[in-house]
Structure 1
Amino acid sequence: MKFGKEFKKQKVPEWIDAYMDYSGLKQILREIMLHKLSRQPPTPLRAIKQKLKLHRTFSGLHAKSRDFVSQGDIEDQVIDVEALPRDGSGHFYRTNFLRQSEGGEIEEMFFEKLDQELNKVNKFYKDKVEAVRSEAAELNKQMDALIALRIKVDTKNASPDNATAVPLRTSTRTLDAGTGHIEGPGVDISKRSLLEESLDSSSGDLLLICNLTIGVDTSNNYQEGELTGGPEVSEVTTANCSSDCKEEENKCEDHSLEILEHVKINNTLETPRSTLKGVFKDSKDDELRFRKEELRKVEGQLRVVFIEFYQKLRLLKNYSFMNLAAFSKIMKKYDKITSTRASRSYMKIVDNSYLGSSEDVTSLLEKVETTFISHFSNSNRKDGMKSLRPKGKKERHGVTFLSGFFSGCSIALLIAVVLRIEARDLMDKKEGASYLVNIFPLYSLFAYAILHMLMYAADIYFWRRYRVNYPFILGFKQGTVLSYREVFLLSTGLAVLALSSFLANLHLDMGSRTEHYRKLTELVPLFSITIVIVIIFCPFDIIYRSSRLFFIKSATHCFFAPLYKVTLPDFLLADNITSQVQAIRSIELYICYYGLGESSQRQSKCHTHGIYNAFYFIVAIVPFWLRFLQCLRRLCEEKDAVHGWNGLKYLLIIIAVLIRTAFELKKGTTWFVLALASSAVAVAMSTYWDIVMDWGLLQRKSKNTYLRDNLVISNKSVYFAAMVLNIVLRVAWMQLVIEFNLHSLQKMAITTIISCLEVFRRGIWNFFRLENEHLNNVGKYRAFKSVPLPFSYNDEETEKDD
């Protein structure tokens, strides 16, 4: 892969504008090359060389110029780079081009652009490093509080007779990177320079603190989380601590209490319990109770915080590496084109800049690894690094084979179903049509789910093709993201199950020999959906367990809105559920058939039950009501009026669905007019929100007419086609309001087709919604994952005064 493509692939989406403009500099180099070629005499031999150079501009395959060899080292005669001081932010670099007389105006423009890029990258990197240093300082304070809490919990849970024999906890020790020195929690971290010993300043148990206090040197006996050495060393250490720890224990405990006196546990309002506590207590802080459950909760939160912080440091390090490589590559290309050796001089400046010389990120990476392994992996480096650097998921050939196999089976089964229906003339007979009207809604549930999964597989394919960072946006853990092949495999597998069950139903119900097994054949749809439910909730590590758990978690957050904090996967799933109203009603039909005993009647009598009609209303508005509650939660937390308008949109849809459902059950001209008017208003506002707010299109001042500034698809007509298609499919949703004089089977077919079109529209919406999020972060979810910290300090003002 060429460096330009690799450089583009490695860019962090949020930082695209902060990277060096490699393509822009290459374009200037092309102009320099063409300028130099135009000045050469047009001899036949030179004409051939000129064509070769035009076709192999940057390939490096053409021979070096003889002039380059003969000129020798003339780098001092090409450029002169100055490092000028900047107000409190390092240096400002400026290059003076020394070959003005040779027609080097374009080259002067190249170095001016190069300096701009270097200064931009250098400043951005310095700002980000300072930000992570501040974050590391806060993490250091969090670790001191965790160590103090561990000491307090251990001391509180120790028996009175063994109060001094606190068990040794090697998992809570941290080594100072490179020195082997063990620091205690008593170090004043607020006065240490840039956390030189940040993230490694804590000992974790009372015994080690006593050793440090009485002067016992244990650093030489520390090896990979364990105190090792001869028996004499261990006996001396134990004896000293046994004799002196009684005197020092109170001091150690007092010190831990001194830290904990100024610490409270943050109520993050992310779970129903924390949300309710925050609402009724009118506070986001909880007093420490020094319980093991409390300690486990804090350790779990800090573990996640350290993992995310480590990933941020890795991205910063990769940012530095890729930009340094880009500067080196572009200067080598300049040397080849101009037959000079200016790269050596310029790269010295780049290497001496903050981007090339700072070791802060590397140092923090080492210290985070040391701290995480010691405190959160029981000093097991292999497990610790596995958590910090999870491996990516490998593609398997078996997935491709099974996808093709199930696809073929699905097509064959679909043909068999159609032939079976035609052979029995079920569409023409009254009894057959009545049978299909009763049995088809039970299997249409599978059709909606399969279509949705196929659209999701297509979305994944195009997200990957256009480098939309959907795993990070949706919050998938590395190594657990399903590929489009795997999603396609699941959808085709579900199709085989559904079509097999449907064909079995047709064969058993229509055969004269199976009349005695009529009760058994009635359970075929129930058996199929039971298999799906069992697979989804299966606790064993089979059939993509991590993805199933992720889905269950997001679905739980949706159904219990607004008790959970709203994240992008939660609202995205809730939006997709709003396109599955007919599927939810099919689930209600299952309950009516098998709960109320209507399956044995072979005709739909569910609407004769009052409780069924009541829930027929409710299930239609539940998805929109959940989205409305999510919008209210975000409005209360973020104080952004946009969420209020979004909630109003869903409220209008709820009103439209209620009136439309009432019209469907009661009929009448008045209900028809109300349903048509309310649906028109809901469709208009929803269409506007889809295109303008969710997709970010139709911007008047955009450099791409009526689109937006940044696009991932180069063909702009795709966006206009998507907008038109979205409007058409939104209007098709109103088709269900209009009453046609149709048979029940035909009406059911129209309803099914329109519902499938809505699922298709949602799949298109998903692609452009995540594309806009990827480029512009419109939902304000993605400016790096900010994981809430477990502790809050209430003595910050006192520390500042000290």
Structure 2
Amino acid sequence: MKFGKEFTSQMVHEWQEAYMDYNYLKNLLKDLLDFKKKNAPLSEVAATPEGSLKRRISMYRAFSGLQSRYTSFKGSSGNNNNNNHEDEVILVNTVQQEGSQGHHQTMFLMSSEEGGEYEMIFFKRLDDEFNKVITFYKKKVEEVKDEADELSKQMDALIALRIMVDKPSIGMPSDQVMMDDDSTLSPGSVVPTHIRSPGGSHMEAIQEVEMTGEEILEEESTSGNREKEKRNLMRFRPAPIEILDNVKINIDPATPISTLKNVIRTSKANLKFSKDELKKAEEQMKTALVEFYKKLRLLKSYRLLNVLAFSKIMKKYDKTTSRKASKSYSDMLDKSDLGNSDEANKLIERVEVTFVKHFVNGNRRKGMKHLRPQAKRETHRVTFFMGLFSGCSIALVAAIVVAIRAQHLLEHKDRDKYMNNIFPLYSLFGYIVLHMLMYGANVYYWKRFRVNYPFIFGFKQGTELGYKQVFLLASGLSVLALAASLFHLDMDMDPKTGSYETVKELIPLVLLFVILLITFCPLNILYRSSRFFFLRTSWHCLCAPLYKVTLPDFILADQLTSQVQAIRSLQFYVCYYVWGNFKTRSNTCQDSEVYKILYIVVAIIPFWSRFIQCLRRLFEEKDSMQGLNSLKYFSTIVALVTRTLYDQKRGTFWKVMAASTSGITTIANTYWDLVIDWGLLQRNSKNPWLRDKLLVPHKIVYFVAIVLDIILRLVWMQLVLDIKDLSFLHEKAFLAVVACLEILRRGIWNFFRLENEHLNNVGKYRASKSVPLPFNYDEDKSM
């Protein structure tokens, strides 16, 4: 792989604009090379093999002897120095500007030569790129230093809280630690080496590891380990518990009940020195250190990759111009903050040992698994079973089609009974499989176009599912559903199975029970981490607004708004197996008023969840756009209610209400999709009617997506226009087709929604998530 492609592939996605523009500088060198070729002397151009004329002339030169030539070369050191001085090509200086940091400026000393203006332009652009990179790097270094200071203060409070809660028996002489009646440390305790003073430098709060931690980790297996521990214990001094006087707990609500309590009281509670508080604080600190460690590794990768890129481009310059400028530039690079900075490395080492020391009881292997989780290896087994299940699904679909055609089931007298009672039960699994297939396709294209979907969704590193795993689950579920429906159909056609009426009708219910059992299975099988992430996010959606709204929460709620028909199918399961006589496929629950009311209520649940989520974000973030978004979802709820009432009651009034509300919400939702969620239709952008930055190289894809979104949004009008009254298609089948079209539209929406979110992160250089810290320092008391 060429370095340019490797350089791009290893970039931090969200920092792309801050990297050295290697391809642009390489194109400048190509222009320089083209100029040199066009203006090369005629004799050089006419030579058949390149350089052959020069070699032919050298063959007629006098031979000076091997030894004499070597001796003369060794003895001409002074001339070499002169030549080196004469061969200087560039001079790199640091120019100080008033009110700003110094920037590097390269002076090209051969500008008078032919083509020198091309080389001057190259070095000017090279300086611009270098100054851009080093400015960004310095800014990020200052950010991590500030964050390290904050983490140091948090560690101060955490260690003091541990002492207050655990009340440890440290085993030190009484003149060093005195325990009073309340088992608290005396105010005379001295700050240990691992706790810094408030004015200390960054991360000094965890520098205990430099004195004792590394020795313990390195000498665990040696015979003198106990003596070392004794000496370290004698030097140990506990943390000052007075820190807790200026600290309040800052733990986010973990349950709806705690949220309600905090709304009634306050979001910042005083410390009660309970084990529950300590456990939550430790979990938050672990998460904060893991994210901080990830940020440090990204910064380290950024520095090394840019240093390598500058080195590569200078070597390419030397090769293009036959000069020797890379040595001078490399010397400047090594002396710069980009070349010799080790701030990130030091912090990485300190975080590693701190995490191992304070959170995994000195087990380095376990600690590094938390800090550097390994991505799961893709195995051929996944590909094999995905192909196997996909082939089986196609074969089962073909078998069902053949059975329907062979038995003339479309003209059967019990066709309506089957479509009204059995078809809705199995269509539920079709909606789920189609949505999973769309998500798998999204994952494939997100990965192809370098959309950082694991970071956006907040997946735990190494647990996100790839498109093959998603397709494997989808194809496996389709095999179960299709096999069950074919078995059910076969029992319907076979007169010998008449005595098994109850068993036959319970097949869909058993299948649903199996799927729910797999979904809620606590065993570490079938991607437990992803299943629990889905369940936790679904619970947050149902309990909105009692949980803080995160991106996975409202993205999943948006997915559920496209699964209204699937939710109604779940309601029909209750109707079919509880209220009616499922053995004879006769039920009257659909005609009851209670069912009709619930038919509306269950459909508006996902839209209500999004409406409440928008209101909470409006109050917390003070973002007026969230208020407009909530109005959009409220209008959708009104349209859904009026459309359903029109379908149940008919009449001119309800038709006018359904048409007007559906028309308004269709226009509002379409505009929001294209302009807000996708960021498109910007008239003055670099790409007319799209946006400035696009990940897909073919612009036609965006215009096709816009047209499809508009067309598929018009499906909202299908009930009002009575398009479903088609003779060749059953009403239930038409509703299933409409539901599938909405799922397809949602799949298209997902790709461009996350692309826009990714580009927003890129624009803000946001490559790591912000993690809430457990403690809040009361600055007024601490001053």
Same fold by TM-score greater than 0.5: yes
Distance 1:401 1:220 in 2: 47
Distance in 2 (CA, whole Å) between partners of 1:745 and 1:608 is 23
Distance verdict in 2 for CA 1:532–1:117, change over 3 Å: same
CA contact (8 A) 2:537 2:556 kept: yes
Q: Does 1:711 align with 2:694?
A: yes
Match of 2:112 among 87, 90, 101: 101
SS of the residue 1:575 aligns to: helix
Distance 2:473 2:214 in 1: 56
Q: What pairs with 1:22-101 in structure 2 (closer than 5 Å)?
A: 22-42=22-42, 73=84, 77-86=88-97, 90-101=101-112
Q: Does 1:192 align with 2:175?
A: no
CA contact (8 A) 2:251 2:281 kept: no
Query: Is the 2:92–2:104 Cα contact (8 Å) retained in structure 1?
Result: yes
1:283-362 correspondence runs (5 A): 283-362=266-345
Q: Which moved more, 1:182-191 or 1:78-87?
A: 182-191
- CA distance in 1 between counterparts of 2:219 and 2:560 reads 49
> Is the Cα contact below 8 Å between 2:390 and 2:475 reproduced in 1?
yes
Contact 1:574 1:627 (8 Å CA) reproduced: yes
Whose RCO is larger (CA < 8 A, sep 6+)? 2
Q: Give the partner amino acid of 1:153.
A: V
CA contact (8 A) 2:446 2:453 kept: yes
Which residue, 720, 732, 739 being the options, matches 2:715? 732
The change in CA–CA distance for 1:711 and 1:47 in structure 2 (over 3 A counts) is farther
Structure 2 match to 1:58? none
Task: Answer yes or no: is the 8 Å Cα contact 2:155–2:205 preserved in 1.
Answer: no
Candidates 546, 568, 572, aligned match of 1:563: 546
739-748 or 35-44: which moved more? 739-748
Q: Tell me how far 1:144 sits from its aligned partner.
A: 0.8
CA apart distance, 1:604: 5.0
1:446-485 deviation per Cα after TM superposition (whole angstroms, max 9, x unaligned): 1111111111111111111111111111111222111111
Q: Is the 8 A contact 2:209 2:357 kept in 1?
A: no
Query: Secondary structure of the residue that 1:792 maps to in structure 2?
Result: strand
Equivalences for residues 13-24 of structure 1 within 5 A: 13-24=13-24
- From the superposition, tell whether residues 186 and 695 of structure 1 become closer, same or farther in structure 2 (CA, over 3 Å): closer
State how far apart, in whole Å, the 1-side matches of 2:706 and 2:234 are.
78
Match of 1:176 in 2: none
List per-residue Cα deviations over 1:132-190 (Å, max 9, x = no partner).
0010001011101111111111228999xx99899xxxxxxxxxxxxxxx981685432
Q: Tell me which of 608, 630, 645 is aligned to 1:647.
A: 630
What SS is found at the alignment partner of 1:737? helix
What is the deviation of 1:660?
Answer: 0.3
Shift of 1:35: 0.9
Amino acid at match of 1:144: D
Q: 2:248 aligns with which of 250, 264, 278?
A: 264
Determine the C-alpha separation between the residues in 2 that align with 1:362 and 1:556. 40
Matches of 1:236 and 1:327, distance apart in 2: 51
Task: Could you tell me which runs of 5 or more consecutive residues in structure 2 were left unpaired when the two chains were aligned.
Answer: 52-79, 180-189
Q: Deviations over 1:632-671 (max 9, x none)?
A: 1111111010111111110010000000000111111211
Distance in 1 (CA, whole Å) between partners of 2:462 and 2:198 is 38
Match of 2:133 in 1: 121
Q: What per-residue deviation string (whole Å, max 9, x for no partner) do you get for residues 772-797 of structure 1?
A: 11112399995630000000111367
Q: Determine if contact 1:571/1:630 at 8 Å carries over to the other structure.
A: yes
Secondary structure of the residue that 2:252 maps to in structure 1? coil
Residues 10-51 of structure 1, C-alpha deviation per residue, up to 9 Å, x if partnerless? 222321211111111111111111111111134586587799
1:222–1:228 contact (8 Å) kept in structure 2: no
Alignment match of 1:522 (pick from 505, 514, 534): 505
Specify whether residues 499 and 745 from structure 1 end up closer, same or farther in structure 2 by C-alpha distance, changes over 3 A only. same
| Separation (CA, whole Å) in 1 of partners of 2:773 and 2:232 | 36
Match of 1:693 among 664, 676, 691: 676
Per the TM alignment, residue 355 of structure 1 is displaced from its structure 2 partner at its CA by 1.0
**Within 2, Cα distance between the matches of 1:132 and 1:308?**
11
Native 8 Å contact 2:289 2:351 kept in 1: yes
Closer/same/farther in 2, CA of residues 24 and 433 from structure 1, 3 Å limit: same
* Equivalent residue, structure 1, for 2:777: 793
Letter in 2 for 1:608: D
Contact 2:425–2:508 (CA under 8 A) maintained in structure 1: yes
Distance in 1 between residues matched to 2:568 and 2:611, nearest whole Å: 20
Report the residue type matching 2:452 in the other structure.
N
Post-superposition CA distance 1:421-444 (Å, at most 9, x none):
222222112322322332111111
Describe the superposition over 1:700-738 as per-residue Cα deviations: whole angstroms up to 9, x where unpaired. 110111111110111111100100110011012311322
C-alpha deviations, 1:588-636, integer Å up to 9, x for none? 0001111213422314533122221111010111111101111111111
Aligned-CA RMSD value:
3.1
Match of 2:592 among 609, 616, 622: 609
Distance 1:774 1:231 in 2: 50
Aligned residues of 2:191 and 2:240 also touching (Cα < 8 A):
no
The Cα shift of 1:298 comes to 0.6
Paired residue secondary structure (2:240): helix
Partner of 2:583: helix, strand, or coil? helix
> Matches of residues 757-768 of structure 1 in structure 2 within 5 Å?
757-768=741-752
> Which residue is 2:122 aligned to?
110
Tell me, in whole angstroms, the C-alpha distance in 1 between the residues paired with 2:194 and 2:212.
17
Secondary structure of the corresponding residue to residue 582 of structure 2: helix
Match of 1:153 among 161, 165, 172: 165
1:4 and 2:4 matched: yes
Q: Deviations over 1:468-504 (max 9, x none)?
A: 1111111112221111111111111111100111011
Partners of 2:141 and 2:496 in 1: CA distance: 77
Long gaps (5+) in structure 1: 52-68, 167-181, 204-216
Q: Where does structure 1 differ by over 6 angstroms across 4 or more consecutive aligned residues?
A: 47-51, 156-159, 162-166, 217-221, 225-232, 234-241, 778-781
Of the candidates 148, 151, 157, which is equivalent to residue 139 of structure 1? 151
TM-score by length of 2: 0.89
C-alpha contact 2:251 2:773 (8 A) present in aligned 1:
no
What's the counterpart of residue 388 of structure 2? 405
1:57 equivalent in structure 2: none
Which string of whole-angstrom CA distances, capped at 9 and with x for unpartnered residues, describes residues 374-431 of structure 1?
0011100101111101112211111111111111111111111112122222211232
Question: What is the TM-score when the length of structure 1 is the normalising length?
Answer: 0.87
CA deviation string 1:316-375 (max 9, x = no partner) = 000001110110011000000000010110111112111111111110000000100000
Distance 1:225 1:515, change over 3 A: farther
Is 1:130 the counterpart of 2:114? The answer is: no
Secondary structure in 1 matching 2:348: helix
Of residues 751, 754, 757 in structure 2, which corresponds to 1:770? 754
Task: Report what 1:507 is aligned to.
Answer: 490
2:411 counterpart of 1:428: yes
**Local SS of the residue matching 2:249:** strand
Question: Structure 1 231/21 Cα, relative in aligned 2: closer, same or farther at 3 Å?
Answer: closer
| Contact 1:335 1:341 (C-alpha < 8 Å) held by counterparts | yes
CA contact (8 A) 2:195 2:205 kept: no
Change (3 A) 1:479 1:784: closer
SS at match of 2:112: helix
| Distance of 2:771 and 2:484 partners within structure 1 | 46
Q: What SS class does the counterpart of residue 102 from structure 1 fall into?
A: coil
How many angstroms apart in 2 are the aligned matches of 1:559 and 1:85?
Answer: 58
Equivalent residue runs for 1:421-500 within 5 Å: 421-500=404-483
Query: 731, 747, 750: which one pairs with 2:731?
Result: 747
Please tell me the residue identity of whatever aligns with 2:207.
D
Aligned partner letter, 2:771: V
Are 1:554 and 1:573, in contact at CA under 8 Å, matched by a contact in 2?
yes
The match for 1:628 is 611
| 1:264 counterpart SS class | strand
Report the counterpart of residue 61 of structure 2 in structure 1.
none
